[in-house]
Amino acid sequence: MAAATVAENNTFRNEVMAETPNGHRMLHCLQCGTCGGSCPSGADMELTPRALIALINAGQRDRVLSANTMWACVSCYYCTVRCPQEIPVTDIIYTLKRLSIAERRYKDTDAPALAKTFTDFVDKYGRSFEFGLATGYHLLSRPLSALKMGPMGFSMFTRGRMSLLPTKIRNIGQLQAIIHKAREIGARR
Phi-psi region of 164 (alpha: psi -120 to 50; beta: other; left: phi over 0): alpha
Among ligand SF4, another protein, none, residue 143 binds (CB under 5-8 Å by kind): none
Which 82-101 residues touch another protein, going by CB under 8 A?
Answer: 88, 90, 94-95, 97-98, 101
Encoded one letter per residue, x for contact with ligand SF4 by CB under 6 A and - for no contact, window 67-86 reads ------xxxxxxx---xxx-
CA distance 141 to 77: 28
Tell which residue, 131, 188, 133, 136, has the closest CA to residue 161.
Answer: 131
- Residues in binding contact with ligand SF4, number by CB under 6 A: 28
CA distance 9 to 33: 25
Binding-site member from 58, 128, 135, 140 for another protein (CB under 8 A): 128
CA distance 16 to 99: 9
> Contact 51/3 with Cβ under 8 angstroms?
no
Q: For residues 156, 161, 162 and 163, what is the CA-based torsion angle, rounded to 10 degrees?
A: 150
Considering the rule CB under 8 A, would residue 104 count as an interface residue with another protein?
no
> Contact 26/41 with Cβ under 8 angstroms?
no
Of 8 and 151, which CB lies nearer to another protein in the complex structure? 151
Considering the rule CB under 8 A, would residue 139 count as an interface residue with another protein?
no
CB of 152 vs ligand SF4, minimal distance in Å: 25
Among another protein, ligand SF4, none, residue 71 binds (CB under 5-8 Å by kind): another protein
Of 39 and 134, which CB lies nearer to ligand SF4 in the complex structure? 39
CA distance 64 to 52: 6
Binding-site member from 17, 89, 96, 134 for ligand SF4 (CB under 6 A): 89
Considering the rule CB under 8 A, would residue 185 count as an interface residue with another protein?
yes
**Residues at the interface with ligand SF4 (CB under 6 A):** 29-35, 38-41, 49-50, 53, 73-79, 83-85, 87, 89-90, 93
